[in-house]
Structure 1
Amino acid sequence: MDRRQLLTTFGLSIAGAAVPRFAFASAPTDKRLVVVLLRGAMDGLSAVPAWGDPDFERARNGLAIPRPGEAGGGLALDGFFGLNPELPGLAGRYAAKELVVFHAIASPYRDRSHFDGQNLLENGSPRPYGLADGWLNRSLAGLPAALRTGRRDFAIAIAPAMPLILRGAAPVTSWSPSVLPPPDADLIARVQGLYGETDPALAKALAAAGEAQAAAAGMGGGPGEGFGVLMAAAAKFMAAPDGPAVAVVESTGWDTHAAQAGPYSVLQRNLRGLDGGIEVFAEGMGERWKDTAILAVTEFGRTVARNGTAGTDHGTGGAAFLVGGAVAGGRVIADWPGLKSSALRDGRDLMPTNDLRGVMKAALTQHLGVEPAHVDRVVFPDSAAAPAMRDLFS
């Protein structure tokens, strides 16, 4: 195959107690963007097996996902690529032309530290710790007026702490399921009364937190309930007519150094959770799903071959997903480098041939309507080598 061709196919088929209220007029546009951070480095060749590569089974050395029709086989996409069998929801979205899969893709990071890789992925510069705030926060200042007017907070993080990607000057908030039992209404009323006259700022924050908690009611409890709870929360906030336009949701535990294969492995469980969480979110968004995009990214890929403990180590090229009712999907986009030993980066990694920043830029400019000049100059400085990908959104 011509590795300079884009492979394009069509399938048939309260955080803190100060969570503020979302009390602003509904914007004329209903565009919504969710960035899912897959922390720990997802193995792209397990999530998106490349069966069309003649070296796939040999290179994976015991970790190759079986082909469709075989026992434990994956889900076919385009005759060259497929999906892990734990991703049936995404396969359905692909068939409905709501999913674009990216492969052999990476951020500009080329080393193997989770901390540095995640920092670069979130700060938006070409270097770890190159900027102190996050690219998604910087993008919020360039949102169209219809998405900004009257909003106290433009974005929400569904996370126990504000991730770097959303830190910065633009107003944002966060929410996370509590691990403690909720306080009763009488206690809340007494605390609010106690501070109502002596500390108006705290009283206002308490009232806002109570409203946010009420909005999230019925979504379940602690973090042990998984990624689906977080995505349900994101949908409940964002589906509101005056809900935030942008959200960040974290999924952790993708660092699979050992015992990676098998239906009960951590990787397979994480993939099931990702797939189910996206379906929960889509259902929760209702009519707003048609104007929504989810971008799932990870800090780097993993080694092609199995290591000595039946897992994979930190790598470079990997996979990413763009899914949603606003996505022009049913495609795999990859400038495929091949899995021959001579084609691997450092003799061990999938060679990255596309830049994640190109997808992120497209999500901001083509989907949310952020000015391209603001994206190139402020959001992703020094990124001329990574132009926005085209035609990703309907």
Structure 2
Amino acid sequence: MIDRRRLILSGLAGTSLALTPRFAFATADTDRRFIFIIQRGAADGLGILAPVGDPAFASARGDLAANALSGAKLDGLFALHPQMTASAALFRQKQAAFYHAIASGYRERSHFDGQNLLETAGTRPYGRDDGWINRLLGMLPKTESKALALATAIPPALRGPVSVSSYAPSRLPDADAALMERVAMLYAEDAQLAPLWASAAQTEAMAGGIDPSAGRGGVAAGKMVASLMAGADGARVAMVETGGWDTHINQEGRLGTALKGVDEMIETLCTELGQAWSKTLVLVATEFGRTVHANGTRGTDHGTASAAMLFGGGLSIGGKIVADWPGLADSQLYEGRDLKPTTRFESMVIAALSSHYGIDPKQLQRTVFPDFPT
């Protein structure tokens, strides 16, 4: 009988990422880069990082287990989804790490509440007005510490006292140069509007005319993010929203499509960021997981614990899987249906960010996750 209660530290949707991705960016005077890719809709951690070595896996997952067996075996217990080929390669190069049986403190199954708690890290949904990424920005050097959201609305994770403006690629025809020049002249003497206009123009130039809806979603999104994070004036903190993870029906194909998009995005970021990849940390996480057993429509329903992913050229725990694995036997499930959470999302982020930025973990916890119990 394998002891499932252990810490494992081993050699660790929809359409085009259902990927109509929305982006949020923030700049600060640091050469380090941080990207948070949120999987909105509750991604199935058991499908992403399948515990194929668990004796109960095959019977618990039924038809959903077959696809997992063709994925890259990362160790004696876990296999990565077969669509995540680039991520598997990065894992072998110690530029990827995975957490499993992870969750925030939220234990209900509402997407909106779960996402809000994941992004604000409060004690209850909508209990805080600021997000943990905005609180992180407050700890970084103040010079050029502006924040920029490529989205129609600022995500909750980036809301707070550090100023955040927005930018979204327009589907309308470009304004001609003469009009842009006249607007710039109109704003030139305005103390508030002039810097905002200059910032917007600089962001437009950095975007390089890349259309995130063109071509494969993951590649286009990765190029957009890398372009906006390049150079001395580029963003240093980014948030990317992806959808298509709410796989109630026909999960196998939909999950594979969404994961392929994320895998392409990660691979593109690695390539396009070049030398900056060695100073980049990418976090991929979701609001909660999905049920262990499939439903009657070859999908899964809202669950509890899931998996999270870290990527980067200088990842301190690269090539490792971190999981206090609870097991998949019926008696080991949370409320008799879900993967039991054994690791808090906040603990993972505190460890990852403190290592990445060289910030004392206790200080980071007090500032970025003040409501997280010590």
Structure 1 pair 32/308, CA: closer, same or farther in 2 (3 Å)? same
Asked if the contact 2:292–2:339 (Cα under 8 Å) also holds between the matched residues in 1, the reply is yes
Distance 1:160 1:224 in 2: 22
Residue of structure 1 equivalent to 2:17:
none
TM-score by length of 1: 0.85
Deviations 1:267-300 (A, max 9, x none): 1111000000011111111101111110101000
Distance 1:350 1:227 in 2: 28
1:274 aligns with 2:262: yes
Residue of structure 1 equivalent to 2:308:
320
Counterparts of 1:286-301 in structure 2 under 5 Å? 286-301=274-289
Structure 1 pair 195/243, CA: closer, same or farther in 2 (3 Å)? closer
Give RMSD over aligned pairs: 2.2
Residue of structure 2 equivalent to 1:9:
10
Secondary structure in 2 aligned to 1:306?
Answer: coil
Asked if the contact 1:142–1:371 (Cα under 8 Å) also holds between the matched residues in 2, the reply is no
Distance 1:348 1:371 in 2: 38
Distance 2:269 2:167 in 1: 16
Counterparts of 1:144-223 in structure 2 under 5 Å? 148-153=141-146, 155-196=147-188, 199=190, 201-222=192-213
Asked if the contact 1:142–1:374 (Cα under 8 Å) also holds between the matched residues in 2, the reply is no
1:308 aligns with 2:288: no
Secondary structure in 1 aligned to 2:276?
Answer: helix
Q: Which has the higher contact order (CA 8 A, sep 6+)?
A: 2
Residue of structure 2 equivalent to 1:99:
96
Distance 2:346 2:274 in 1: 29
Residue of structure 1 equivalent to 2:338:
349
Would you say how many aligned residue pairs link Structure 1 and Structure 2?
360
Distance 1:248 1:196 in 2: 31
Structure 1 pair 233/67, CA: closer, same or farther in 2 (3 Å)? closer
Distance 2:246 2:222 in 1: 21
Distance 2:159 2:254 in 1: 30
Asked if the contact 2:219–2:264 (Cα under 8 Å) also holds between the matched residues in 1, the reply is yes
**Which residue of 324, 332, 338 corresponds with 2:321?**
332
1:239 aligns with 2:230: yes
- Shift, 1:8, TM fit: 1.6
1:370 aligns with 2:367: no
Distance 1:200 1:353 in 2: 51
Residue of structure 2 equivalent to 1:389:
none
| Structure 2 counterpart of 1:113, one-letter code | S
Distance 1:101 1:252 in 2: 20
Counterparts of 1:51-70 in structure 2 under 5 Å? 51-66=52-67, 68=69
- Shift, 1:224, TM fit: 8.3
Structure 1 pair 223/40, CA: closer, same or farther in 2 (3 Å)? farther
* More moved, 101-110 vs 157-166: 157-166
Residue of structure 1 equivalent to 2:47:
46
| Structure 1 counterpart of 2:51, one-letter code | A
Secondary structure in 1 aligned to 2:8?
Answer: coil
Deviations 1:70-103 (A, max 9, x none): xxx1111112101111000100010001111111
Distance 1:296 1:190 in 2: 42
Deviations 1:226-275 (A, max 9, x none): 243333222122231343321111111211110112xxx22111100000
Counterparts of 1:115-134 in structure 2 under 5 Å? 115-134=112-131
Secondary structure in 2 aligned to 1:189?
Answer: helix
Deviations 1:327-354 (A, max 9, x none): 1311111111111011111111001111
Distance 1:194 1:126 in 2: 46
Residue of structure 1 equivalent to 2:19:
none
Secondary structure in 1 aligned to 2:295?
Answer: coil
Distance 1:84 1:206 in 2: 44
Distance 2:294 2:330 in 1: 14
* More moved, 186-195 vs 110-119: 186-195
TM-score by length of 2: 0.89
Q: Which ranges in structure 1 are unaligned for 5 or more consecutive residues? A: 12-18, 386-394
Secondary structure in 1 aligned to 2:35?
Answer: strand
Distance 2:165 2:363 in 1: 23
Distance 1:105 1:65 in 2: 24
Asked if the contact 2:98–2:321 (Cα under 8 Å) also holds between the matched residues in 1, the reply is yes
Secondary structure in 2 aligned to 1:35?
Answer: strand
Residue of structure 1 equivalent to 2:239:
248
Distance 1:193 1:151 in 2: 24
Asked if the contact 2:43–2:245 (Cα under 8 Å) also holds between the matched residues in 1, the reply is yes
Secondary structure in 1 aligned to 2:51?
Answer: coil
